[in-house]
């Protein structure tokens, strides 16, 4: 893949059945090793329990406050600057506990595809 500068397009944001809003920043089959999305969860909303088949996910919290639930660890508060590592096939969800949007990057390896998403609800 050649060098690329990808500009964020706020109008590309879409709502998911998971109860969050996503902008795909980098997710292309020409770079199957990784994908990066910006996720936004509105105040008071908890995303759906889910896991990613054979895909590691990392949350990097940009703004807002939340409570992250990952199977195998006690639910923990998160805020700007925090990072969460979620191994493949691990149930997860996040709740926005603040008054403003919770915004974080979701970095997946290998890249996220709809086929790796498994709803647990």
* CATH at residue 44: 2.60.120.10
Which tokens in the block code for residue 106?
């979701």
**Virtual torsion, Cα 43, 67, 82, 117, nearest 10 deg:** -90
Span 87-111, mean pLDDT?
Answer: 98
* Residue 81 is assigned to a structural domain of this protein: yes
* Residue 16 is assigned to a structural domain of this protein: no
* Residue 46 is assigned to a structural domain of this protein: yes
Higher pLDDT, 3 or 108: 108
pLDDT tens per residue, range 3-45: 888 899 999 999 999 999 999 999 999 999 999 999 999 999 9
Higher pLDDT, 107 or 3: 107
How many independent structural domains does the chain possess? Answer: 1
Q: In which domain, by residue range, is 91 found?
A: 24-111
* Residue 15 is assigned to a structural domain of this protein: no
* Residue 4 is assigned to a structural domain of this protein: no
Buried/exposed 16-27: b ≥16 CB within 10 Å, e otherwise: eebbbbbbbbeb
* Residue 78 is assigned to a structural domain of this protein: yes
Please tell me the predicted confidence (pLDDT) of residue 4: 82
* Residue 52 is assigned to a structural domain of this protein: yes
């Amino acid at each position: 893949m050649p060098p690329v500068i990808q500009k964020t397009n706020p109008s590309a944001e879409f709502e998911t059945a998971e109860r969050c809003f996503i902008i795909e920043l980098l997710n292309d089959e020409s770079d199957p090793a990784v994908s990066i999305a910006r996720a936004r969860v509105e105040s008071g909303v908890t995303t759906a329990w889910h896991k990613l088949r054979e895909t590691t996910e990392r949350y990097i919290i940009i703004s807002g406050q939340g409570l992250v639930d990952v199977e195998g660890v006690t639910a923990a508060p998160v805020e700007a600057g925090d990072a969460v590592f979620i191994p493949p096939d691990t149930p997860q969800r996040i709740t926005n506990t603040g008054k403003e949007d919770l915004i974080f990057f979701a970095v997946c390896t290998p890249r996220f595809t709809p086929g790796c998403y498994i709803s647990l609800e």
